Amino acid sequence: MNKIAQIFETLEYGPAPESAQPALDWLKAHDGIFGHFINGAWTKPGKTFSSDNPANGQSLAQVSEGTAEDVDKAVKAARAAFKSWSALSGYERAKYLYAIARLVQKHSRLFAVLESLDNGKPIRESRDIDIPLVARHFYHHAGWAQHRDREFPGQVPYGVCGQIIPWNFPLLMLAWKIAPALAAGNTVVLKPAEFTSLTALLFAEICEKAGLPKGVVNIVTGFGDTGQAIVAHPDIDKIAFTGSTEVGKAIRAATAGTGKGLSLELGGKSPYIVFEDADIDSAIEGLVDAIWFNQGQVCCAGSRLLIQESIEDRFIAKLKKRMASLRVGDPLDKAIDIGALVAPVQVERVRDLVKKGAAEGAQVYEPDFDIPGGGCFLKPTLITNVSPSHTVVTEEIFGPVLVAMSFRTPEEAVALANNTRYGLAATIWSENINLALDIAPKIKAGVVWINGTNNFDAAVGFGGYKESGFGREGGKEGMGVYMKPAWEKDLKPAAAAKAVPAKPVNPLDGGDSIDQTAKMYIGGKQARPDSGYSRPVHGPGGNLVGEVGDGNRKDIRNAVEAARAALGWGNASAHNRSQVLYFLAENLQYRRAEFAARIREQTGEKGEAEVDAAVERLFAFAGWADKYDGAVHNPPLRAIAAAMVEPIGVLAIVAPPTRPLLGSVALLAPALAMGNPVVLVPSDKAPLSVTDLYQVLETSDVPSGVVNIVTGDSAVLARTLAEHDGVDAMWYFGDAAGSTMVEKASTGNLKQTWTSRGLNYDLADTGRFEGDYFLRRATQVKNVWVPYGA
Ligand code: NDP
């Protein structure tokens, strides 16, 4: 080896320490103790707890434990500020957001040092990633504040937003929450995580400096019960939460029936797929970023390596070599790759999971180098020899631990990638762009990175599918979750529906000599109810006008299975779906008189207008099918991000008791237009207009399983649907109690719900319901990042 090569081989890093002094001075200026920031002022510190430096265990400051009274004070301040803040012009709000962005930039080094001290992340990351992205978020949302009314006509802010964030990206998560909320015109009460409150408190000072009106931003520090007090507060209009799936589910249950808006950004177990034609060295550098960025404490960490079998040995050997050159150490050293985990309890949790993996037969590899003692340091870890059911493969480890498995074909890669309850992110490495772009839409994840990883930008939405939560942060879709239509506040309670006789007193009463009981419609076939019972349908005078099957949980199970088998409807071209909906409209129009007579029989009302409205609605959504689509973003990286509008999956619909035909069609049409197979429970009072639809569906080229219809007691069937893990989203028209039940029961798989909460949503209103109201709820946005440049 010549001398230069030898020097390169043996070259050691010298220390490159960043001074902690400016941050320590700032803490000292506050006497190392903090109250809450409420109504533009600091409260006297109450009962406090210590915020520690995880790199050395030393206490940095004392932070107050927020009580329910503190939360109440903060909510009152936010409520009082809402009126004038939301009345400001967009330009005025934009100027405040811009001022915050500028001040974050001005004090960026202080923020970065404080963040690394408090969280343990390498200064390289807080300095070059977290804090610049925070500034970028406020800049970006200054623009949204100004253009809100133009881009979101008819939308108004929720009011007071309660925001709860985790410790892994303390200031960045704050920015992701506060910037869009303020841009939309909301005021906020935010709780940082107990381990990492300090940069949120420094941010409060930035708000003061920016002259932000008092009460617009309130920061209450504390533990989980402070978060609980925010969730439970009756005067909060929307909750935005980032954290674990477990707490996300508890918040879903706690907010059920309250009418509070909700967005959840939860955990993940994201696949990192490497095909045999990938640029292996780049894929390995990407992997370092995917799993060892922020010590692996990243919700979207590429923690499941899926590698094509033909390159597995070579890849793993190179990876181990690269792992051996990673540097673990003082977060304030600028040449460090891996800093400290956030707290001793997190270190223990990660160690326990790795031990469990070993006990289950996995092979654990750690490079052979020393790491500092005394702090929360762990070595980068690779786990191999696992199967899909291993704990380390299914559970989020949230630490510097990578789990590797192999696959043979692209189909197998997709199956393994989707074999998780989560759906936050995925990474694909392949030099074959056709293959990568074929795989990206097949993966159920809110973000897909091709030949890159962990790219983030304020203009590009971020958020999950399945148990990774719902709602997006960033991009236009992220703004959308902080607003609602202005007309919603004027909705009045719906008139109580007349009672539905469940069964004839004498089951042998009624019916003709030849039975004409309408059956269910499941998987494109008419099916008898599993129960073997039927339900009478009465006209307005109490006369028997027909009978339908009395569906039960087995019928629902069959319908959901049929709908899942028809998920390919979402891959049909939008033009194809549009044609089917036009054809449905045409065939319904053709039988106008018959459907009108059926409506009259059941309701006593002339039915022609309702049939016409149903036909018009089908036309409207046939028209939307190929127009409600995505965007291509141009973030400040050499990449495009394609925001693809995708169906959610199997959508369950419980139609309103009124408007027997339009009530179902108005919901079915947007769901189908966007590619969701449906399980529909029609009005239990007047189901015959929908059971008559079977023949129309059959003659309109609707593929089997795309529409499944189960008649029966709406409340009973709604519960089964809400609890069913095969249902991805649910819309429920019914009373307040039923709506609460649906929202609570949806926590099992965190399905997205929309409920009418007993309010009078008039589905005949074309202004409100022929546009994007239900389209937005029938879709989710997946952002696919594709780098460019040679
Ligand atoms: P937690 O869910 O425990 O905590 C998140 C926040 O919620 C903290 O502020 C916490 O307070 C608070 N909290 C705890 N219990 C409750 C409760 N019952 N009601 C209301 N608030 C509560 O998660 P971690 O902080 O431990 O963060 C790690 C998890 O977060 C990981 O699973 C990770 O995947 C996920 N995460 C997801 C992200 C995403 O964008 N999807 C981003 C970052 C993390 P306290 O700190 O005092 O316990």
Q: Does the structure show a pLDDT above 50 at 339?
A: yes
Distance 165 CA to ligand 1 centre (A): 6
Confidence of residue 508 (pLDDT cuts 50, 70, 90): low
Q: Is 290 in the pocket of ligand 1 (CB under 6 A)?
A: no
Encode pLDDT of 364-398 as tens digits.
999 999 999 989 999 999 999 999 999 999 999 99
- Which of 282-296, 493-507, 536-550, 735-749 is the least confident region? 493-507
Q: Which residues contact 643 (CB under 8 A, 6 or more apart)?
A: 460, 461, 475, 477, 630, 631, 632, 633, 781, 782, 783
- Ligand 1 site, residue 267, Cβ cutoff 6 A: yes
Give the residue, by CA position, lying nearest to ligand 1 atom 34. Answer: 267
Cα 650–654–655 angle (5° rounding)?
Answer: 125
The average pLDDT across 329-346 equals: 97
What amino acid occupies position 640? Answer: I
Decide: 164 in ligand 1 pocket, CB within 6 A.
yes
pLDDT for res 315: 98
| Tens digits of residue pLDDT in 462-495 | 999 999 999 999 999 999 999 999 999 999 999 8
DSSP H or E run through 240: strand 238-242
- What distance in angstroms lies between residue 225's CA and the mean position of ligand 1's atoms? 12
| Cα separation, 599 vs 546, whole angstroms | 12
Determine if ligand 1 sits within 6 Å of the CB of residue 250: yes
User: Which DSSP category does 691 fall into?
Assistant: H
Q: Does residue 730 line the site of ligand 1, with CB under 6 A? A: no
Q: For residues 117-145, give the mean pLDDT.
A: 98
Say yes or no: CB of residue 247 within 6 Å of ligand 1. Answer: yes
Cα 268 to averaged position of ligand 1 atoms, centre (Å): 13
Ligand 1 pocket mutation, candidates 164, 233, 398, criterion most atoms within 8 A of CB? 164
Examine the residue annotation and report whether 265 is marked as an active-site residue of this protein. yes
* Mutate-to-test residue for ligand 1 from 51, 189, 242, 456, highest number of ligand atoms within 8 A of CB: 242
Give the nearest ligand 1 atom to 191 CA.
9
Residue 63 Cα to ligand 1 middle (Å): 18
Query: For residue 502, what pLDDT is reported?
Result: 47
Alpha-carbon distance of 564 to 562, in angstroms, equals: 5
Distance of CA 548 to the CA centre of its chain: 38
Residue 144 has pLDDT above 70, yes or no: yes
Q: For the chain, give the mean pLDDT.
A: 96
Q: Is 405 helix (H, G, I), strand (E, B) or coil?
A: strand
Query: pLDDT, tens digit, for every residue of 354-372?
Result: 999 999 999 999 999 999 9
Average pLDDT over residues 122-133: 98
The Cβ of residue 98 has, within 10 Å, a number of other Cβ atoms equal to: 18
Centroid of ligand 1 to alpha carbon of 246 (angstroms)? 9
659 backbone dihedrals φ, ψ, rounded to 5°: 50, 75
3-state secondary structure of 295: helix
167 lines ligand 1 (CB under 6 A): yes
Distance 94 CA to ligand 1 centre (A): 30
- Residue 1 scores a pLDDT above 90: no
Answer whether 267's CB lies under 8 Å from 467's CB.
Answer: yes
Least Cα distance to 449 among 274, 595, 567 occurs for 274
pLDDT at 503 over 60: no
- CB of 297 shorter than 6 A to ligand 1: no
- Of the chain, the percentage scoring pLDDT greater than 70 comes to 97
What is the Cβ-side half-sphere exposure of residue 132, based on CA atoms within 13 angstroms?
A: 9
Question: Is the CB of 395 inside a 6 Å radius of any atom of ligand 1?
Answer: no
Question: Alpha helices of 256-389 — where are they, by DSSP H?
Answer: 280-292, 312-324, 344-359
Which tens digits make up the pLDDT trace of 746-771?
999 999 999 999 999 999 999 999 99
18, 115, 194, 265: the catalytic one is: 265
pLDDT exceeds 60 at position 150: yes
Residue 399 Cα to ligand 1 midpoint, Å, equals 15
Which ligand 1 atom sits closest to the C-alpha of 267? Answer: 34
Model pLDDT for residues 690-739, shown as the tens digit of each residue: 999 999 999 999 999 999 999 999 999 999 999 999 999 999 999 999 99
Ligand 1 and 243: CB distance under 6 A: yes
Q: Does the pTM of the predicted model rise above 0.85?
A: yes
